[in-house]
Structure 1
Amino acid sequence: MEDRIVKEGVLWKRGGSTAKCLKTNGWKEKHVELSKNGFLCYFSKGGERETARKVIVTPGSVRKLPRRKQIFYGKHSKHAFMITGHDHVFYFGADSEDECTAWMEALEDASIVHDGQEMGHTLRMMYSLFRLADKDFSGTISKAEAQSIAHRMNAQCNPPEISAAFRKRAIRSLSKELDFEQFCSLWREITLNKFDVSEFEKAGGEDVESTITPKQLTMYLQRQGNTEVSEEFIRMVLSRHLGQASADSTDPSLLGCDVFMFSDIVQSNDNGVLHQKIVKTVYQDMTHPLSNYWVNSSHNTYLTGDQLKSSSTIDMYRIALEQGSRCVELDTWDGANGEPIVYHGYTMTSKISFHAIIQCIKDYGFKSSPYPLILSLENHCSLPQQIRMAEIMEDILGEMLVMPTLEDEQRLPSPAALVGKVILKGEKSKENSFGTVSAEEPDESDPVELIESALEDSAPTVDYTVEAVAELKEATSKAKSKLNHLEKQKTIAVRADLSKLIFLDIGSKSALIKAWEKGQVNVPNAPATQMCNISEPLCLKLAQKFPQQWKMHNEEHLSRIYPSGLRVGSSNLNPLFPWSLGCQIVAMNLQGHDTAYQINHGRFLQNAGCGYVLKPTQLRNAKDTAEDALPVTCIGAKGGKAGLLTVNVLTGYHLPKPYGAVRGERIDPYVKIRVYSPYGCREKFVTRVVRRNGYNPQWNETFQFNVQDVGLSMFHLVCRDKDFGSSDDMIGMFSFPVNLLQMGLRYVPLVGVCLTGCRPCSRQALRISSLQMQNTLTVFAFFSLHVPFSRLHWFGCTCRRGGLSFAGSWRR
């Protein structure tokens, strides 16, 4: 293997493995060299190169340190990055941000390039595992090392079969070990997917040794439902994949499309279940008022676990913002030294600085989306600290804050008009609120003095007889009542300094309900900037009594729904039902990766993950313009509200072990599919279990779903590992609106769920997972469509001593 040095320099290194990192206190200066084959060598400054230690750099293993680790790891880690593996974590610090970025880019490029050509995702996986198995860094592997790779890749291969194929190639090369090109040939021979061979023959291939032309591949994809492809487009795709699908160094212009390249192209973005226009661009009209959009929202954003005793961290705001959340929550309380804090009041959760959160919001608020960010303030601060809150937000956010105008009170502005702006949601003072009852200006006396004053005013003037005792109890009761009233004033009263910054005012729920009982849609004289904040149980009750009025109310006003207080484990409510009522903001616990969270994640993958999705026409004002037509390959392009969805689950590719593990038994995968609608999920289908094969399991099972509302329903697929005697572990899942799924033979990527979050897999070797499906939709209007799905994002997690660590955000 080539060992040419492509980058070298001096970096600061800390630790060597996860355990050593905790024991090493300082950073050590090291001379670092990055070779062309993806090895990172380091040795002490002035030392001999022969004593260098080597680190294997695999795709996706290089990333920047989170800010909390940068602070913890000292002065040399201000511009640091980390390299992770299945049994090690290395930390390197650079002198500047530019140097750090340059090293990260060079490391990532070295991990995905072989013989001067960028590898496809299948070849990257094989190359990463090949280098991990090469313990002596010789560039070749033995028969035992080849068998260990088979176990890691969950492949259903017999040891005698591997031994025979290995021996045949070893004799041919007159060596006891195989290089990477020989290993690729061996591996593809023994693990060739039967489904790929069958489809390749349908496309015109005579056998696995033959090739097909661009015209044959174009005609095959068109027959399978990908009607948008053309021969010119296929030629461009082939030229891109020719250097990626094979380890052969032959001139790509002289090669045709073989079965391995065919498999990679069928699994690529060009044949994915999600249309690239939908997931890569903001394809919807963003000039509608805010009330016409669903908004990606988080609940108690600061928490990392349950609602009672988990930790609070600023990183959760960064994670939420990088995942596309456009509404985050801050529960503010009085802190020490006059500085407000954020935590879940009256619980054992930890406390964090309000100032630090606002700074984090400024730094990360618009990195993943340029559209407005809503700060949901739950204000429990005293008046002095409310003034401090206003000062902090004005100092840090400044012109980013949106100030309400008279025009906004008539009609809410659009996301396009508020690009780069921050919207505050909370309770205003009485002179600026409509339909609300605000507290009077509170007395600034000390609470103890107020109690003593109340007792003195109500003290009995007779001896302590039975009547006197009764009077004393009554006086005490009045004093407590007065104190409670003052405490309520202390909480509800909003200082003018803070009130003037609030754009979205929380209106009175009772006033809105009374208006609905009278047959009205909105509270009289209520501005468009007034919204309602409703709990999950109340949402269900109001939806039963006033469904139509609520839908009409949401055409001009915003509604926020938050989880029930009984969800102490940070589970989530199903967002489909509030969405069907037109409610724009459904707050989700991002730390609870349940089915409801997965549905919410699938809804906001569209529109480039910007956090705003235009509601269907039936949930918007009739005067608004219609949305742009969907691509012709999407289910919703033909119109129609209900239909019969037929899904054929065919095969799987490179399914990993649960939670990113590299050791343990081979998995036994099966697939569970549901179509969720606002009216409940009535049908669930499960495939059979494929024993001990996660590399290329075959199912070929067909299921049908009655879809009641194509525009509001969500397709949800989960792949699990069957465990006998314990609960089945999740391998990955996929969720997306039914109307946006593409028809035909398509590639479906899975996303993995971590303990503290999800992140794009960045094409890491052991994290690549997908399913191949063929779908048909028969609409009740008596016409049929042939269906497939588009490839979306890569997600995964990093294994660290039995747990999973989060790092990163969603990538688009």
Structure 2
Amino acid sequence: MGSYKKDKHRPSPLPESSNSNKDEMGSYNYKMFNLFNRKFKITEAEPPKDVKQLFSKFSNGGSHMTADQLRRFLVLHQDELDCTLADAQKIVEEVINRRHHLTRYSRHSLNLDDFFHFLLYDDLNGPITSQVHNDMTAPLAQYFIYTGHNSYLTGNQLSSDCSEVPIVKALQRGVRVIELDLWPGSAKDEILVLHGRTLTTPVPLIKCLKSIRDYAFASSPYPVIITLEDHLTPELQAKVAEMVTQTFGGMLYYPESDSLLQFPSPESLKHRIIISTKPPKEYLESSGIKRKGPLSPGGRNSSEEDDEASGIPYHTAELEADDRSDSDQDDVDLTDCDNKSGQLGAPGYKRLITIHAGKPKGCLKDALKVAADKVRRLSLSEQELEKAAATNGTDVVRFTQNNILRIYPKGTRITSSNYKPIVGWMHGAQMIAFNMQGYGKSLWLMHGMFRANGGCGYLKKPDFLLEKGPNNEVFDPKTKLPVTKTLNVKVYLGDGWRLDFSHTHFDSYSPPDFYTKVYIVGVPADAAKRKTKIIEDNWSPAWNEEFTFPLTVPELALLRVEVQEYDMSDKDDFGGQTCLPVLDLRPGIRSVPLHDKKGEKLKNVRLLMGFQFV
């Protein structure tokens, strides 16, 4: 039955062993209005009909499945064409060891329950491929890159602490682009990382650099890109160059020439760290601002991201008219910088820059012009991207075929929320910069997108974003495309909540009433939402419902899954979520682990789902 009004001071999730209100008969007791108890029997998840039929089919009607029979199931039904008998034997041994530890030496095959539990083990039967499978030898501009925004912030954009800790967490998750804002400290030669013109507390640059050095390749061997928003004098830029070279040593890559005709590949930059920023020049001169006195985090010498975040208008009389853009501080006139940086900046600092950030002065269309003799990075705010997508969509696609486009959140996102990333991906933008310490469904999509390609942080862009036609035409994101794939999704059952949560976490008076929502997130033509029925009073709900999703651009489609617990008198409760890249889904019946609202994997909660492409 539907949940009653619940106690809002619910306990936190409990560890696996904590079932304090479970009696010896395998039941949960719920106290009703402090007057009487309601007893609900704990039911274990049972194999669905499809699982029983598959077991019977591949065991030839027997009561046990041998390693060779399991191999046939994995090859023919799960489409694991490379599976060998030795692979299947290892799975059998692992399942037996987990489920029959005391008698493992006398068992050599799987019964139906063993087979069912194997399907539920996400480490043995996960939903997506765990290997890097994209071509990693193309230039960096041909990849979507897992990108952080203000990577040093622990919380909101205005008053949270700056720390190396969120940088470490991002790198451990697989993020490949780390952003640092550099400001001079009060002491001589002191360089701090902080969000300028806010109340954020600073962290020394050297701490951040050492953390990047120590954790850069904790989850991926592919290059880490450090984007710098630089508010420093030439003398301090030289100090940064010294700190960077001493900290990273041989890990640091920089090109031999000032201007690259094309970017190097992720494969060629394995275990290397590269720098991206504007070429050095007096910051205020390059921005067209007349200044006197030293740079200061509390002064007027900040990027527009800082101006937006602080709520102070950026467009002041101190700016030249043609410099009044919405882009990052690092978008300066590349031509001027290339000519003058050797005189005004720190030559050692300039030499370390692999990806030059900058744009010509003028309108957005001019900023998106492609130079024949060099490649660069351009930054746009999320609002600027929307404007460009509406008026110059093909220009954006053309620019991103060889150059790098970075999109950053609008300054009003002071709580470190995020925006919808799909517009940037549709136009080929490589760096969709997200607040990784943030929250919300947009961040779930970002997590999901970069679970693809083995979670390495680099995804090869779809061919249609890289190709040119016979008349030099490029893909138009506004074009309506035909359906190219259809994804069938079956939601069998869910399990694990009673191990991860207290028995009253979802409902004070009865077991939970779970249902599952399934979404396709992608280009507008592919967007879809489906929902299962509600299973009442059951910790292990079995839905056995199937949904079909036609897809026009499966390369950019994400399957978002969310479990909710129905409440008849209040907002439904969150029961877990995940987001998966459609083209990396493994066919067959798979275990799908769920995550909490912050994207952390729940210990035991998972769904059993089926995937099939037609």
Q: Give the TM-score band, short-chain normalised.
A: 0.7 to 0.9
| Counterpart residue number, 2:210 | 359
What secondary structure does 1:397 align onto?
helix
State the Cα distance separating 1:703 from its structure 2 match: 2.2
Distance 1:323 1:482, change over 3 A: closer
What secondary structure does 2:147 align onto?
strand
| Counterpart residue number, 1:296 | 146
State the Cα distance separating 1:569 from its structure 2 match: 1.9
| Counterpart residue number, 2:164 | 314
Alignment partners' CA distance in 2, 1:617 and 1:321? 28
| Counterpart residue number, 1:734 | 578
Distance 1:260 1:159, change over 3 A: farther
State the Cα distance separating 1:357 from its structure 2 match: 0.9
Which deviations, in whole Å up to 9, do the C-alpha atoms of 1:503-547 show, x marking residues without a partner? 21112164573447xxx841464x12x211111101111112222
What secondary structure does 1:748 align onto?
strand
Contact 2:559 2:582 (8 Å CA) reproduced = yes
| Counterpart residue number, 2:121 | 268
Contact 1:411 1:556 (8 Å CA) reproduced = yes
Distance 1:244 1:510, change over 3 A: same
Aligned match for 1:257, one of 66, 88, 110 = 110
Task: Trace 1:133-212 onto structure 2 (pairs within 5 A).
Answer: 144=23, 147=26, 191-196=43-48, 199-200=51-52, 203-204=55-56, 211-212=63-64
| Counterpart residue number, 1:668 | 513
State the Cα distance separating 1:727 from its structure 2 match: 3.3
Contact 2:523 2:556 (8 Å CA) reproduced = yes
Alignment partners' CA distance in 2, 1:537 and 1:484? 22
Higher fraction of helix? 1
Aligned match for 2:604, one of 768, 782, 802 = 768
Which deviations, in whole Å up to 9, do the C-alpha atoms of 1:605-662 show, x marking residues without a partner? 1333221111111222569xxxxxxxxxxxxxxxx9633333221111213588x557
1:679 aligns with 2:536: no
Contact 1:226 1:743 (8 Å CA) reproduced = yes
What secondary structure does 1:693 align onto?
coil
Task: Trace 1:478-627 onto structure 2 (pairs within 5 A).
Answer: 495-496=345-346, 497-508=348-359, 510=361, 513-515=364-366, 521-523=369-371, 525=373, 527-528=374-375, 530-621=376-467
State the Cα distance separating 1:438 from its structure 2 match: 3.0
Distance 1:217 1:161, change over 3 A: farther
Structure 1 residue identity aligned to 2:537? R
Alignment partners' CA distance in 2, 1:309 and 1:724? 39
Structure 2 residue identity aligned to 1:709? V
Runs of 5+ in structure 1 lacking a partner? 1-84, 88-124, 136-141, 152-157, 163-189, 448-479, 624-639, 762-766, 778-784, 786-812
Distance 1:218 1:369, change over 3 A: closer
Q: CA RMSD in A?
A: 4.0
| Counterpart residue number, 1:644 | 486
What secondary structure does 1:242 align onto?
helix
Structure 2 residue identity aligned to 1:667? P
State the Cα distance separating 1:375 from its structure 2 match: 0.9
Contact 1:266 1:746 (8 Å CA) reproduced = yes
Contact 2:594 2:601 (8 Å CA) reproduced = no
Distance 1:233 1:393, change over 3 A: closer
What secondary structure does 2:607 align onto?
strand
| Counterpart residue number, 2:92 | 238
Structure 2 residue identity aligned to 1:543? A
Q: Which structure would you say has the larger RCO, counting Cα contacts within 8 Å and 6 or more residues apart?
A: 2
What secondary structure does 1:237 align onto?
helix
What secondary structure does 1:674 align onto?
strand
Structure 2 residue identity aligned to 1:701? E
Which deviations, in whole Å up to 9, do the C-alpha atoms of 1:308-357 show, x marking residues without a partner? 22222210011011111110111112212131211111122222111211
Alignment partners' CA distance in 1, 2:94 and 2:206? 48
State the Cα distance separating 1:391 from its structure 2 match: 2.6
State the Cα distance separating 1:483 from its structure 2 match: 12
| Counterpart residue number, 1:347 | 198
Contact 1:430 1:439 (8 Å CA) reproduced = no
What secondary structure does 1:588 align onto?
coil
Task: Trace 1:426-445 onto structure 2 (pairs within 5 A).
Answer: 426-429=277-280, 438=286
| Counterpart residue number, 1:75 | none
What secondary structure does 2:388 align onto?
helix
What secondary structure does 1:739 align onto?
helix
What secondary structure does 1:346 align onto?
coil
State the Cα distance separating 1:602 from its structure 2 match: 1.3
Which deviations, in whole Å up to 9, do the C-alpha atoms of 1:725-746 show, x marking residues without a partner? 4433332222122122122322
Runs of 5+ in structure 2 lacking a partner? 1-11, 31-36, 296-315, 333-340, 470-481
State the Cα distance separating 1:233 from its structure 2 match: 4.8
Contact 2:526 2:557 (8 Å CA) reproduced = no
1:700 aligns with 2:544: yes
State the Cα distance separating 1:422 from its structure 2 match: 1.7
Which deviations, in whole Å up to 9, do the C-alpha atoms of 1:448-507 show, x marking residues without a partner? xxxxxxxxxxxxxxxxxxxxxxxxxxxxxxxx978999xx9x998872243332221112
Alignment partners' CA distance in 1, 2:13 and 2:560? 30
State the Cα distance separating 1:294 from its structure 2 match: 0.9
Structure 2 residue identity aligned to 1:349? T
1:419 aligns with 2:257: no
| Counterpart residue number, 1:63 | none
In the superposition, the TM-score normalised over structure 2's length comes to 0.77
1:391 aligns with 2:242: yes
State the Cα distance separating 1:437 from its structure 2 match: 8.5
Distance 1:641 1:501, change over 3 A: farther
Contact 2:65 2:111 (8 Å CA) reproduced = no
Alignment partners' CA distance in 2, 1:273 and 1:572? 28
Structure 1 residue identity aligned to 2:486? L
What secondary structure does 1:652 align onto?
strand
Query: Whose radius of gyration is greater, 1 or 2?
Result: 1
State the Cα distance separating 1:147 from its structure 2 match: 4.7
Alignment partners' CA distance in 1, 2:226 and 2:167? 11
Alignment partners' CA distance in 2, 1:721 and 1:743? 28
Distance 1:510 1:255, change over 3 A: same
Which deviations, in whole Å up to 9, do the C-alpha atoms of 1:676-696 show, x marking residues without a partner? 1133764211222222322x2
Percent of pairs with identical residues? 26
Alignment partners' CA distance in 2, 1:441 and 1:495? 17
Contact 2:288 2:320 (8 Å CA) reproduced = no
What secondary structure does 1:313 align onto?
coil
Contact 1:670 1:722 (8 Å CA) reproduced = yes
State the Cα distance separating 1:708 from its structure 2 match: 2.1
In the superposition, the TM-score normalised over structure 1's length comes to 0.59
Task: Trace 1:790-805 onto structure 2 (pairs within 5 A).
Answer: none
What secondary structure does 2:394 align onto?
helix
1:380 aligns with 2:224: no
Alignment partners' CA distance in 2, 1:568 and 1:259? 53
Which deviations, in whole Å up to 9, do the C-alpha atoms of 1:153-195 show, x marking residues without a partner? xxxxx98786xxxxxxxxxxxxxxxxxxxxxxxxxxx634344
Which deviations, in whole Å up to 9, do the C-alpha atoms of 1:190-222 show, x marking residues without a partner? 6343444773365339xxxx8323266566666
Alignment partners' CA distance in 2, 1:232 and 1:481? 72
Contact 1:572 1:592 (8 Å CA) reproduced = yes
Residue-pair matches, total? 539
1:336 aligns with 2:186: yes
Which deviations, in whole Å up to 9, do the C-alpha atoms of 1:656-681 show, x marking residues without a partner? 588x5575344332111110113376
Alignment partners' CA distance in 2, 1:552 and 1:343? 34
